[in-house]
Structure 1
Amino acid sequence: MPRSRRDKKISLTKTDRKGLAWKQLIIEDVKRCIEKYPNIFIFSVENMRNNLLKDLRQETKKDSRFFFGKNRIMQIGLGRTEAEEIEPQLHKLSNRLTGQCGLLFTERSKQEILDWAKDYWAVEYARGGFKATETVILPAGPMEEFAHSIEPHLRKLGMPTKLEKGIVTLFKSYTVCEEGKVLTPEQARILKLIAKPMAEFRLTIKCGWNKKDGFESYISEDSGNEEGDDDEDDENDVEMDDE
């Protein structure tokens, strides 16, 4: 008798990690953090990079907790209305969770967080869609920093290259990008290959809440980085620290 499909065992690594139970876990985790930490801040991110966000989590794990991802899930945890919130004025914080932003629960004071966010930045490589901050022109001649095996890839990106005696060579000067113009994905890849970063990873603290004074806004609702649509699930859907 053939084996029933219902008896088939499925590895947990292949199951959907973003199911209803997982989302409920996030909501409960947000509520626990409301009880644990005296201060909550909403931050927006400029030039988001997962590795840099992970570094931030490691740097602040002793006294803080980061949530970044699906806004609607975090809003439920905070409470979307006065009737849903578990602390006064938390629904005001919830309503500011729009665009590419996250939650920071912390024991640090408001001034400590504002000063820290102002001074925190990291240089990163630009992606397609970013405006070039300078004009980059590569002169004709050998490019000995590249292995010969990468030459076909460089040509595919649009660079006028050829191999001369096994050395990658530009047979004419090449303008990678022009200041103020939007980068294509190919231009962004070339800038990364030639080690030319043009972007900065930065945090902006939009607003905050504490158990003593309630909600406080630091920038207007239409200021800062409000780009991004959180209606669809993606790979960044609510990332958390391991406690």
Structure 2
Amino acid sequence: MSQMAPPARKHYPKKKRLLYQELQDLPTKYSVIALSKMTKVRATQLMAIRKKFRNEIKIRIIKNKIAMRAFEKLKGVPGIEHLSKQLEGQCALMFTNISPFRLNLIFAQNKVFLAAKGGDVATKDIAVPAGNTGIAPGPVLSEFKVANVATRIDGGTIWVAKDTVVAKPGDAISIQLASLLSKLNVKPIEAGIAVNFAIAEGLI
């Protein structure tokens, strides 16, 4: 009776194998490992930082499971187990000799403001400025009314009568308000890279 062949080993794509190897090598070459959650981070922001600091910061968009497996091989790197526990959602890892404090300063200088979407939460007062909107009167007037924004018609366009706060910190932005803000080119959602967790020379 012939013996059953052993199960075939799972073949991982070259890109994943290279990432797995890099995630074992890079932590031993740099004094700082920083984790960033990729919520509302534009690809262009990441590319700009990669280009500007390519010799100082190695940025890797990771697959969490691959990173966890790689980090299991790095028991001797202080803090690596704590870092592994932070891997949830879409993450990026940064390997550098720049301090976490300076990293955050660099990232703060590269933040952008995005149009709001329904369900976004205001982090500060969102105001509609007084003045000419350049929008012709029509159904959109009802959107101003719902948002409690006083208007007047002058010269065939809608004017906002006074600066008006339409959302406070912690308020959820409705689909209707997001639509109005978009028409007014008000971009209230701050987006950028931030250091959510870091290991610096073994210290968390």
Q: TM-score range by the shorter chain?
A: 0.5 to 0.7
Identify which of 101, 110, 127 aligns with 1:114: 101
CA drift at 1:134: 2.2
> Quick check: 1:177–1:183 contact (8 Å CA) kept in 2?
no
**Cα deviation digits, residues 117-154 of structure 1 (max 9, x gap):** 14632241253322262253466x9633x6x7xx99x8
SS in 2 for 1:40: strand
Identify which of 163, 166, 180 aligns with 1:177: 166
**Cα deviation digits, residues 67-90 of structure 1 (max 9, x gap):** 2343222222222xxxx3264333
CA drift at 1:55: 1.8
How do 1:1-243 residues align onto structure 2 when only pairs under 5 Å count?
20-21=12-13, 22-44=15-37, 47-79=40-72, 84-85=73-74, 87-89=76-78, 90-106=80-96, 108-110=97-99, 113-118=100-105, 120-121=107-108, 122-128=111-117, 129-131=120-122, 133-137=124-128, 143-144=133-134, 155=140, 158=143, 169=158, 177-180=166-169, 181-200=171-190, 201-210=192-201, 215-217=202-204
Query: In percent, how many aligned pairs have the same letter?
Result: 16
> Quick check: 1:67–1:104 contact (8 Å CA) kept in 2?
yes
The number of aligned residues is: 179
2 CA distance for matches of 1:114 and 1:44?
A: 17
1:14 paired residue number:
none
CA drift at 1:104: 0.7
2 CA distance for matches of 1:33 and 1:44?
A: 19
2 CA distance for matches of 1:133 and 1:126?
A: 14
CA drift at 1:189: 4.5
> Quick check: 1:123–1:197 contact (8 Å CA) kept in 2?
no
2 CA distance for matches of 1:33 and 1:189?
A: 44
> Quick check: 2:116–2:182 contact (8 Å CA) kept in 1?
no
Q: In angstroms, what is the RMSD of aligned CA positions?
A: 4.0
Q: Which amino acid aligns with 1:114?
A: F
SS in 2 for 1:32: helix
Structure 1 runs not aligned, ≥5 long: 1-18, 218-243
CA drift at 1:103: 1.0
> Quick check: 1:39–1:208 contact (8 Å CA) kept in 2?
yes
Structure 2 runs not aligned, ≥5 long: 1-10, 146-152
> Quick check: 1:132–1:183 contact (8 Å CA) kept in 2?
no
Runs of 4+ in 1 over 6 A off after TM superposition: 170-173
Q: Report the TM-score, using the length of structure 1 for normalisation.
A: 0.55
2 CA distance for matches of 1:67 and 1:85?
A: 17
2 CA distance for matches of 1:135 and 1:93?
A: 35
SS in 2 for 1:204: coil
